[in-house]
Structure 1
Amino acid sequence: MAEAVTIGDSEFDRDTAVALREPGVYDAELSAGWTIIRAVNGGYLLALLGRALGEALPHPDPLAVSAHYLTASQPGPAVIRTQTVRSGRTMSTGQASLFQRDEDGGEVERIRVLATYGDLDRLPDDVRTSAKPPAIPPREHCFGPSDGPAPIPGSSAITDRLDIKLDPATLGWALGAPSGKGEMRAWFGLADGRDPDPLSLLLAVDALPPTAFELGLEGWTPTVELTVHIRCRPAPGPLRVSITTRNLAGGFLEEDADVWDSADRLVAQSRQLAMAPRG
């Protein structure tokens, strides 16, 4: 087995790299390796803008990140413009927008983010919670995209960059028998073995198959808005991700995600509003 890469040397790190053009402005290249049905994955985009904000703001770690997805991003060049909204002693807030050129050469805004940053290593140790890790079977009893008889509906290049093992209890859709419960649970990691960090948590909350599959729907589920809370720095090792949908109505559904690390800590939470598939 190939040796796992370290944080900073991963394909994820290379593909979320940004280059400073001028103060507050960064050039980026959206990689085709993180696409779903030709559109760039929303979690990958969030990590990319998160990296730019981490360089622009005086504090290193995302604490709360809220993004509105305005138009579908495509692989290729992009520019990220950031602005510091407020800078305090323990936290700073900034905003960032990612732009690409359209066929006529005009600049189109793809995603807009407002985020608060701090230092996760300086947070208090006190934890009082009723939350419990999801009951997922051991990894060897779970299944990934390569274990199925046919490709996952809507699967694409991003599946080659992730190490996802889905709970069999949330895999009815892959067998033509969705449960109707709107749940998805999985072990999650990067395919090259890179350990998780706050930026990869921004990816993890939006990387599993949509819960809409277990509601009996297939197809692209584009994100409209996504808010992520990073609760602490994750321990090395695989993550466990649990996502639920309670209400699909009016052509939209919500997805609530909890991410747990190998030390049984709740390291990230998110809620997104997405368009329901029309398939």
Structure 2
Amino acid sequence: MAPFVCLITLLLVSHLCNAQPSPGYYPSSQVAPLSFNQGYRTLWGPQHQTFQQGTVTVWLDRSTGSGFKSLKRYQSGYFSAAMKLQPGYTAGVITSFYLSNQEDFPGHHDEVDIEFLGTTPGKPYVLQTNVYVEGSGDGRLIGREMKFHLWFDPTKDFHNYAIFWSQNDIIFLVDDVPIRRYPRKSDATFPQRPMYMYGSIWDASSWATEDGKIKANYNYQPFVGQYRNFKIAGCEFGGPKGSCHLPKMSPSGPNNLSPQQVAAMTWAQRNYLVYDYCKDSKRDHTLTPEC
């Protein structure tokens, strides 16, 4: 075989190996979308939000950012939104979609995060997933971060990002591909108290980009994030017992992943995982016994 043909063959095989595998099952298809006003309300920065044809646009400038919050608290559930990020210089800026009860339990809250860490031109966004449990984010900073680059450019189009939170697992999904599963190994390492769902854009220059080395530069303002296709299938806190049924995460039920889904998650972690707190030798793992 000619060298040029060999090179083309190798490139094609490499591309196919890195192509997104089908998870074989799509939990998002089980949940009907709802309008922003059906599920959420503006929390802060109302002058930095617009609503047009089902899309919520939020932005950050020198004066403030913006955020929104679910109308209800949830004990568990499936929460998703399609998001599109701003290209170019976004260092120091966080665009997020997350569960939290910080307003109810200041100083000892729980949190489950999808956060996009801003970047500089030519470098990819980092998608950070994180779990805080009973105040481990309030001063002691015991985060459980797993960070990913993505297999697509999140500034080019909308993609779906989801958190599934049951009494046994937290699963993070991107376009229905599971990228992380955080199982309940003990009560002490798993959030169990009710939480609201939030979205926001804000300045996190102290840590967001290269551990805070590169700050937000407001010569590039405004920094913009967009959300649409909101979905919530959750168990409302205080709702009637037996009235809530979580969507199935796999063909076999709400708390399992199929072998095909596990293979897709393995692919995502093998090719795109860039940080795992359990594998960080600088961390004190006595504080994260689940590792």
TM-score (norm 1): 0.30
| Structure (1 or 2) with the larger CA radius of gyration | 2
TM-score (norm 2): 0.29
Q: Which has the higher contact order (CA 8 A, sep 6+)?
A: 2
